[in-house]
Amino acid sequence: MSNIPDQLRYRDSHEWIDPTQDPAPVGITDHAQAELTDVVFVDLPKVGTVVSAGQQVCVIESVKAASDIYAPVSGEIVAVNEALNSEPGLINTAPYAGGHIFKIKPSNVAEIDKLMTPEAYAAHIG
């Protein structure tokens, strides 16, 4: 069974955001990393980029494929997880803890409520 932490909110494209933190970390779910397997490169976004919800932000490369990562909410990317440059596999080994991809300062908090709850995401991945 894949891990779906309670305090997070989810996009149908398998990104998570932690709205209890400000700025809010964003990553991909345990389910997504298990599907991708073996992440070998993360094309991190640029700090200071302003994105809108659903916009493609960066790319994660596994041996299998290159996967687009989308912004769960609108806002400014205020930090990126530089550790992924030297250790992209953190996304596999610690998808929620050390393997977040970037931190975003949400510009419209209401968007968080439109994201999936852990229950809804669990149902989504079946």
Please report, as ranges, the residues that interact with other proteins according to CB under 8 A.
37-38, 40-41, 43, 59, 61-64, 66, 85-86
- Gyration radius of the chain's alpha carbons: 13
What gap in Å lies between CA 67 and CA 116, rounded to an integer?
A: 20
At a CB cut-off of 8 Å and minimum separation 6, what does 21 contact? 103
Count Cα atoms within 13 angstroms, Cβ side, for 76.
3
Could you tell me if 10 and 116 are in contact, meaning their C-beta atoms sit under 8 angstroms apart?
yes
- Shortest Å, Cβ 46 to other proteins: 12
- Shortest Å, Cβ 65 to other proteins: 8
Q: Which is nearer to other proteins, 112 or 125 (CB)?
A: 125
- Shortest Å, Cβ 47 to other proteins: 17
Q: Which is nearer to other proteins, 61 or 76 (CB)?
A: 61
Could you tell me if 50 and 61 are in contact, meaning their C-beta atoms sit under 8 angstroms apart?
no
Q: Which is nearer to other proteins, 41 or 70 (CB)?
A: 41
Q: Which is nearer to other proteins, 3 or 37 (CB)?
A: 37
